[in-house]
Structure 1
Amino acid sequence: MKKITLFLFGTILMMSCSGIKVATDYDSKVDFSQYKTFAFYRPGIDRADISDLDKKRVLRAIEFELVAQGFVKSDDPDLLISIFTKSRRKVNVQQNSNWGYGFGWGFNPWMGSMNNINVNEYTEGTLFIDFIDKEKKELVWQGIGTGALKIENRDKKEERIKLFVKEIISRFPPDRKR
């Protein structure tokens, strides 16, 4: 029983640590099993408002996840993949009030409260990954991931980008058994 409880607690903790909210939308009339190949849609990617280095990181992560699902990168693809990004500064303010009493050195009683205010400023990023039917030139699936951007160093940034992409692509195709 203890092992099951520990496993469930660990799983919940790991899921909550990613802190990435994912939403998807798709055309319910599309048969996603017809898609086998993909390529990146450069005109859309070029408009994404992130550095060229981060674009490369995102595209590598997308390619890795799609190939892991059995898709093939091709010069004559079924799907075109595009990305779009948004970011905004967020401020999180928390107030903690603590009541207490005690004695200091000698006779110095005190009673009252201590207020702690924590202010945390961070950047929240949103990554849109669009899957476009090449023949119809129509958007058929969109994944959107939103979460805090933790940019402590290059390795942490790359790890965070991979996690964003993995969370989003794990929901594609919509009828896939998980």
Structure 2
Amino acid sequence: MKKMLAIASLLATVTGCAGTVDVVTDNEQSLVPGSKYAWGSPPPKPTITPDNADIDNDIIRDRLQRAIDIELERQGFQKGTAADARYLVSYHIGVATKQRVVSEPRFGGMMLRCGSRTCWSAYDWGIWGPPYETTRTYDYREGSLIIDFRQRDGDKLVWRGIYKNTIWDGVKLDERRVQDIVFDVLKRLPK
């Protein structure tokens, strides 16, 4: 069983399909399922850069808000106005460029050795020769989505879901992919 779980997590890591989700909750306050919610203040408009132009824009924001509304309704939450809601829901999108350093072992082959009168070849460090390592550095983008539930009275954070994943070039955030990400975060809401 452990071997199957290890293989599944390795496949998810290699393919980049699944991101990581962390949940932060308040120990003093609990999120009550089926409560009314309203949208809190919208996240500030980002400064458009080549790193975030395909992820943080009005189209993706509309898709996110629709997907959050659909998933909360599916889980029994009721959308209301800010005056009668128990929670204010908001979200934040972030994109960061990071660097990763990868070291890979390399193995040599036959070694040529020369003495005072002759040269000969021999394997050194076993059959493959001495090991050595190559290191390369590359840039990548990491995207995150944060969904917050705050008490309307007092503006206290009650529940936060954080989704992080590497953004691969060529991967588009279509409607279905946005819904999958939102579902992945909000399935961790208390039942």
- Structure 1, unaligned runs of 5 or more: 103-108
TM-score (norm 2): 0.65
Partner of 1:64: 70
Q: Which has the higher helix share?
A: 1
| Residues matched between the structures, number | 163
Q: Distance in 2 between matches of 1:151 and 1:38?
A: 35
1:126-137 matched pairs, under 5 angstroms: 126-137=144-155
Q: Which residue of 1 aligns with 2:118?
A: none
- State, as a whole percentage, how many aligned pairs show the same letter: 24
Q: Is 1:165 matched up with 2:188?
A: no
Q: Is the 8 A contact 1:30 1:140 kept in 2?
A: yes
1:1-178 residue pairs with structure 2 within 5 A? 8=5, 11-13=8-10, 15-16=12-13, 17-33=16-32, 35-41=34-40, 43=41, 45-47=42-44, 49=46, 50-75=56-81, 76-101=84-109, 118-150=136-168, 152-154=170-172, 156=173, 158-173=175-190, 176=191
How much has 1:77 moved relative to structure 2?
Answer: 2.5
Determine the C-alpha separation between the residues in 2 that align with 1:122 and 1:69.
35
SS of alignment partner, residue 28 of structure 2: coil
Where structure 2 has 5 or more consecutive residues not aligned to the other structure, the ranges are: 47-55, 111-120, 122-128
User: TM-score scaled by structure 1?
Assistant: 0.69
Higher gyration radius (CA): 2
Distance (Å, rounded) in 2 between the aligned partners of 1:133 and 1:35? 14
How many angstroms apart in 2 are the aligned matches of 1:29 and 1:7? Answer: 38
Inter-partner Cα distance in structure 1 for 2:107 and 2:11: 33
Output one character per residue of 1:110-143: Cα deviation in whole Å (capped at 9) or x when no partner. Answer: x887866554422112222110122343221112
Distance 1:14 1:81 in 2: 33
- The 10-residue stretch of structure 1 (67-76 or 49-58) with the greater mean CA deviation from structure 2: 67-76
Distance apart, 1:51 and its partner CA = 1.2
Hey, what's the Cα distance between the residues in 1 that align with 2:106 and 2:4?
34
1:40-87 CA-to-partner distances (Å, cap 9, x unmatched) read 22x2x2415331112112212212221221222223432211112322
Secondary structure of 1:61's counterpart equals helix
Query: In structure 2, what is the Cα distance between the partners aligned to 1:128 and 1:48?
Result: 15
